[in-house]
Chain A
Amino acid sequence: MDYEEGKGLRLKQVCIRPDGVEKVTGHLKFLTDLSFPNMLFAKILRSEYPHANIVSISTEKAEELPGVRAVITSKDVLGLNGFGLIFPDQPVLCKDKVRFVGDAVAAVAAETEEIAEAALQLIEVEYEPLPVVDDPEQAMLPSSPQLHPNGNILHQASYQSGNVEEAFQSCDCIVEETYQLPRQMHAYMETEGGVFVPEKDGTLTVYAGTQHGYKDRYQLARILNMPEEDIRVVSSPLGGSFGGKDELNIQPYGALLALKTGFPVKIHQTRRESVRSGIKRHPMKIKMKTGAKKNGKIIAHQVRIIADTGAYATLGPAVLDFAVEHATGPYMIPNIQVEGYSVFTNNGVAGEFRGFGGNQVTFALEGQIDRLAVKLGMSPLELRQKNLRQAHDPGPVGQKIAPTDGAQQVLKQISQSKLLNSCRKQDHNGLIKTGVGVAITMHGGGLGYGRLDPAGGRISLNEEGKIEIAFGFEEFGQGLLAVIEQIAIRAIGCSREDLHIVIGDTYKVPRSGSSTASRGTSMVWQAIQRMKAPFQNSLLERASQCTDVPVSQLKIGEKGVWHQDELLISYKELAKQTIDKPLIIETRFDFPATPCSIPGGHFLYSFAACAVKVEVDLATGFVRVKHLEQAVAAGPVIFPQGYLGQIEGGSVMALGYTLTEEALIEKGTYVTENFDTYLIPTIKDVPLSIDITAIEELCEEDEYGPRGVGEIGTVAVAPAIAMAIYDATGIWVNKLPVSREEIVNKMMETEMSKWLTSK
């Protein structure tokens, strides 16, 4: 491992990503860069209203516009007019009702993008506007307009242990607070898009990014009324996703228009279209009441979560389950009551986003711990230590989990941070104050109990003599290809040049499940562990048969099979000699879930602790994160550059979540439509160095290897910043993004009361 003791994870050894050169030279073709002969361009007409009945749609004028080749509405949907990862409640094209401003009503294919866009203006849709449901708490009332047949509550989840009411009676100290979390946008740099190509043999090729090609194929087959086998989904590479492209987006429209016109159709959404139609992180309102004894032992924790899931289900239920599961985090609390509601509104659509509901509850939970610590007069680290889980404790909802000492490891590591003990400097007129804060988190991997979570992979010796490794995962920046390469080289013993890695094409790859839930690295490692022995044995046997050297004297190495420091037979030669009986090893298994029957309950967890130092300008309320450290316990590091990048990038994404990002919706309509108003961090908003420490040791009996780190780096940052702001100013933040105005106002109140009391 390229890891320097005490200096955090550092890249000692240069290891170039397999997709690196193409990316830095601009030669890599993203799927939105593709073009085909006779290609048409499509545009999608989205609803004018957040909530309305459709009275009529007239497409005649649009169809008559020269250059327009097809206009589609709900009647052109060949199969099921609906999509959704859990259940298909989102219409592909709305027929009689729209429920958010991103709802699609019609789509056009034309010879140019300009004509397609002009045609959209010519489609006449008559709406009958309905009252907008924009407050989830209001939406829960029976008097509210109901958005779906089963009412406005999409999903309800709860967990209970002990008796909180009784326990609160015996608490010495209780903290009760309501936390509000904003609607964060993934803001992947490449907006949704791709090309849809009808093939001569009647099949359809879809070139459009997603996190799960097979799932897109399944959903598209339903919509197009086509056998799945007749659809080929080419789905990598993507210009970022972060959970945002797991659900279908533009695919149904491109596919329907390609089939209708018989020509390749390209769609590439503008940023404004992307904001309007794309899913977001769930805004949540979380009420927590937490009580402790004088000695710091937390004995009662009551939580109520209301998640604004927007107009359709997508992964809303699973996100809520995750939030409920993680509401007590890594703390052992005897009396717990958690209830959560995921509620339909006309506010866009909320769905999967890196962290998956964990970010929201962790902000609230860690906020509670810090407030309790202050009230108890105890150090926040000490209070955490007193209540922290041990290696063999059950999981947060009492379930059996893989033993892990991660919580103790990350807390111990972050406690040693120099940052926490660094001097507090103030500028000469006392207007800039410095503060530090810490937070920790635990985060489940995989989809959890009761959810189909299959994984698998394939290793073969292909005709060209390459060791071909195929997975149904996608590359959206996280470094999956490098992870596959590193694991394969180490497991098999060949060199990187001997490998041919295949992903992102349903015609070529096995099913591996979705590239989501921090499962990629974990599943690649487990799959290769399962396949390596059969593959190696089979390869050596073949080499032995071809060379008459006994297997026991053969060794797999660079370029081929070796005998006594000599290359005996190359992979190429071996492939040639055994071409009539190809060597293919496949595996299928499921991501491990807890055996306890808790919907979505996890078995494997990773952990992180974050420490930050902030400066707060008291005159303007401006908060600047000066330094950030994270300690992460997620098993062995496979590809250091990727690991580092995930935690650094996740930290900054969370910094944006904390300080500036909010996809604002007013009365059901987005008011932040592009990067001039939706504010992701620039290079000027981030600390110049972020120190990451990777804790690689797992429990002795742990056989699950490396865990994915795609999400864990985003979770503990917000509460750490909030604590640092308190440390600097005495102001508790309970709503993100942090309001500068509120800091200023509260500072003035404090000043005023000081002034009054001093009189």
Chain B
Amino acid sequence: MADKQMSSSIKLPSEERMRMSIFVNGKKKELEIHPAARLVDILREQLHLTGTKISCGIGRCGACSVIMNGRLVNACLVRAYQANEKEIVTIEGLAEKGLHPIQQAFLEEGGFQCGYCTPGMIMAVKAILDQYPNPTSQQIVDGLSGNLCRCTGYSGIIRAVQKLAEKETSRLDSKC
């Protein structure tokens, strides 16, 4: 193929490593990565953030869901380099001081069992609540349809999100 002549400024042959920087949970990381790497690989293998899980590898289960520049993405379908200069929030970045309210609600309502889908599920819930602080049932199921859970049957997850929504409602009510 013609790669010998290809524009050198933007050329990245396969054996070379690419340099990239990424902000993960608020911290800047400079990384050397392989062009074939996926975001989930650099999170788990290079940064040892194993909270983000891998399950189907084709974007159908949501176990690797993280938030990239404010939007929920499947980290198995994002090429590592596409995260260059981006801000990533993973499950490890959620609990700053004590537990995040979503995590607390999951604990109280049985929003998890084996816990393997849970990090991705919680990130998806965060994405819902970031967009709709007081989501309807429809918004909840729309926002979570990409995250599979085999243990709970989703009942505990729905209860957890509804509890958060109720809290939001009473917070708003008390403000008025």
Direct contact of A and B (CB under 8 A): yes
Interface contact A478-B113, CB-CB below 8 Å: yes
A99–B44 alpha-carbon span in the complex (Å): 36
Q: Which of A1-32 contact B (CB under 8 A)?
A: 11, 14, 16-17, 19-30
Q: A648-B155, A652-B154 are in contact. Are A188 and B114 (CB under 8 A)?
A: yes
Q: A271-B57, A479-B113 are in contact. Are A16 and B148 (CB under 8 A)?
A: no
Q: Which of B42-62 contact A (CB under 8 A)?
A: 44, 48-58, 60-61
- Chain B CB count within 10 A is highest, among A19, A27, A191, A648, for A648
Whether A690 is near chain B, meaning CB under 8 Å from some CB there, is: yes
Q: A189-B117, A242-B150, A675-B148 are in contact. Are A23 and B112 (CB under 8 A)?
A: yes
Q: How far is the CB of B158 from chain A (nearest CB, A)?
A: 6
Q: Which of A402-440 contact B (CB under 8 A)?
A: none
Interface contact B103-A25, CB-CB below 8 Å: yes
Whether A682 is near chain B, meaning CB under 8 Å from some CB there, is: yes
Whether B95 is near chain A, meaning CB under 8 Å from some CB there, is: yes
Whether B156 is near chain A, meaning CB under 8 Å from some CB there, is: yes
Chain B neighbourhood of A17, CB < 8 A: 107
Chain B neighbourhood of A11, CB < 8 A: 108-110
Contact of B150 among A189, A478, A651 (CB under 8 A): A189
Contact of A189 among B48, B53, B156, B157 (CB under 8 A): B53
Q: How far is the CB of B75 from chain A (nearest CB, A)?
A: 13
A641–B61 alpha-carbon span in the complex (Å): 24
A648–B91 alpha-carbon span in the complex (Å): 25
B107-133: contact bitstring with A at CB < 8 Å (1 yes, 0 no)? Answer: 111111111111100100000000000
Interface contact B108-A16, CB-CB below 8 Å: yes
Q: How far is the CB of B22 from chain A (nearest CB, A)?
A: 18
Interface contact A675-B150, CB-CB below 8 Å: no
Binds A, one of B4-12, B80-88, B137-145, B168-176: B137-145
Interface contact B112-A24, CB-CB below 8 Å: yes
Q: Which of A179-226 contact B (CB under 8 A)?
A: 186-191
Contact of A689 among B51, B108, B152, B155 (CB under 8 A): B155
A30–B55 alpha-carbon span in the complex (Å): 13
Whether B94 is near chain A, meaning CB under 8 Å from some CB there, is: yes
Q: Which of A271-286 contact B (CB under 8 A)?
A: 271
Chain A neighbourhood of B61, CB < 8 A: 189, 675
Q: Which of A638-657 contact B (CB under 8 A)?
A: 641-642, 644-645, 648-653, 655
Q: How far is the CB of A166 from chain B (nearest CB, A)?
A: 46
Interface of B is mostly: loop
Interface contact B58-A675, CB-CB below 8 Å: yes
Interface contact B91-A240, CB-CB below 8 Å: no
Interface contact A675-B56, CB-CB below 8 Å: yes
A203–B109 alpha-carbon span in the complex (Å): 43
A170–B61 alpha-carbon span in the complex (Å): 55
A14–B103 alpha-carbon span in the complex (Å): 14
Q: A26-B119, A683-B158 are in contact. Are A239 and B153 (CB under 8 A)?
A: no
Q: A26-B91, A648-B153 are in contact. Are A674 and B107 (CB under 8 A)?
A: no
Chain B neighbourhood of A648, CB < 8 A: 152-153, 155-156
Interface contact A26-B90, CB-CB below 8 Å: yes
Whether A454 is near chain B, meaning CB under 8 Å from some CB there, is: no
- Chain B CB count within 10 A is highest, among A26, A186, A689, for A26
- Chain B CB count within 10 A is highest, among A23, A35, A683, for A683
Chain B neighbourhood of A649, CB < 8 A: 113, 150-153, 155
Q: A271-B56, A674-B58 are in contact. Are A477 and B107 (CB under 8 A)?
A: no
- Chain A CB count within 10 A is highest, among B112, B113, B153, for B153
Whether B63 is near chain A, meaning CB under 8 Å from some CB there, is: yes
Whether B149 is near chain A, meaning CB under 8 Å from some CB there, is: yes
Q: A477-B114, A648-B153, A649-B151 are in contact. Are A25 and B53 (CB under 8 A)?
A: no
Interface contact A674-B60, CB-CB below 8 Å: yes
Whether A545 is near chain B, meaning CB under 8 Å from some CB there, is: no
Interface contact A270-B53, CB-CB below 8 Å: no
Chain A neighbourhood of B114, CB < 8 A: 188-190, 237-240, 476-477
Whether A452 is near chain B, meaning CB under 8 Å from some CB there, is: no
Interface contact B63-A189, CB-CB below 8 Å: yes
Q: A26-B90, A476-B114, A645-B151 are in contact. Are A675 and B145 (CB under 8 A)?
A: no
Interface contact A676-B58, CB-CB below 8 Å: yes
- Chain A CB count within 10 A is highest, among B111, B141, B154, B156, for B154
Chain B neighbourhood of A690, CB < 8 A: 153, 155
Q: How far is the CB of A210 from chain B (nearest CB, A)?
A: 14
Q: How far is the CB of B111 from chain A (nearest CB, A)?
A: 8
Interface contact B118-A682, CB-CB below 8 Å: no
A25–B94 alpha-carbon span in the complex (Å): 8
Whether B134 is near chain A, meaning CB under 8 Å from some CB there, is: no
Whether A756 is near chain B, meaning CB under 8 Å from some CB there, is: no
Interface contact A684-B99, CB-CB below 8 Å: no
Q: How far is the CB of B57 from chain A (nearest CB, A)?
A: 6
Chain B neighbourhood of A642, CB < 8 A: 110, 113
A683–B145 alpha-carbon span in the complex (Å): 5
Whether A33 is near chain B, meaning CB under 8 Å from some CB there, is: yes
Q: How far is the CB of B139 from chain A (nearest CB, A)?
A: 12
Interface contact A29-B158, CB-CB below 8 Å: no
Interface contact B158-A190, CB-CB below 8 Å: no
Chain B neighbourhood of A686, CB < 8 A: 153-155
Whether B92 is near chain A, meaning CB under 8 Å from some CB there, is: yes
Interface contact B137-A688, CB-CB below 8 Å: yes
Interface contact B99-A25, CB-CB below 8 Å: yes
Chain A neighbourhood of B151, CB < 8 A: 240, 477, 645, 649
Interface contact B108-A680, CB-CB below 8 Å: no
A142–B107 alpha-carbon span in the complex (Å): 57
A271–B53 alpha-carbon span in the complex (Å): 13
A30–B51 alpha-carbon span in the complex (Å): 9
Interface contact B107-A645, CB-CB below 8 Å: no
Chain B neighbourhood of A651, CB < 8 A: 153
Chain B neighbourhood of A641, CB < 8 A: 109-110, 156
Contact of B154 among A35, A242, A683 (CB under 8 A): A683
Chain B neighbourhood of A653, CB < 8 A: 150, 153
A644–B156 alpha-carbon span in the complex (Å): 9
A233-273: contact bitstring with B at CB < 8 Å (1 yes, 0 no)? Answer: 00001111010000000000000000000000000101100
- Chain B CB count within 10 A is highest, among A23, A237, A240, A676, for A23
Q: How far is the CB of A683 from chain B (nearest CB, A)?
A: 4
Interface contact A674-B56, CB-CB below 8 Å: yes
Interface contact B107-A190, CB-CB below 8 Å: no
Chain A neighbourhood of B146, CB < 8 A: 682
A268–B116 alpha-carbon span in the complex (Å): 14
Q: How far is the CB of B123 from chain A (nearest CB, A)?
A: 9
Chain A neighbourhood of B53, CB < 8 A: 30, 189-190, 239
Q: How far is the CB of A195 from chain B (nearest CB, A)?
A: 13
Chain A neighbourhood of B157, CB < 8 A: 683
Chain A neighbourhood of B150, CB < 8 A: 186-189, 240, 242, 649, 653, 680
Contact of A477 among B58, B60, B90, B115 (CB under 8 A): B115
A14–B91 alpha-carbon span in the complex (Å): 23
Q: A21-B99, A25-B92 are in contact. Are A645 and B115 (CB under 8 A)?
A: no
A642–B112 alpha-carbon span in the complex (Å): 10
Interface contact B55-A189, CB-CB below 8 Å: yes
Query: Residue of A at shortest CB range from B52?
Result: A26
Chain B neighbourhood of A28, CB < 8 A: 115
Chain B neighbourhood of A186, CB < 8 A: 150
Can you name 11 extra interface pairs (CB under 8 A) apart from A28-B115, A240-B116, A649-B153? A23-B118, A30-B116, A239-B116, A270-B57, A477-B116, A645-B156, A649-B150, A652-B155, A675-B58, A682-B148, A684-B145
Q: Give me the 6 closest cross-chain CB pairs, A-B, nearest first.
A: A26-B51, A477-B114, A239-B116, A652-B153, A23-B115, A26-B91
List 30 interface pairs A-B (beta carbons < 8 Å), by A numbering.
Answer: A19-B115, A20-B112, A21-B99, A25-B94, A26-B52, A26-B119, A29-B50, A33-B50, A35-B48, A186-B150, A188-B150, A189-B53, A189-B61, A189-B149, A237-B114, A240-B113, A270-B57, A479-B113, A641-B109, A645-B113, A645-B152, A645-B156, A650-B153, A674-B58, A680-B150, A683-B144, A683-B147, A683-B149, A683-B154, A683-B158
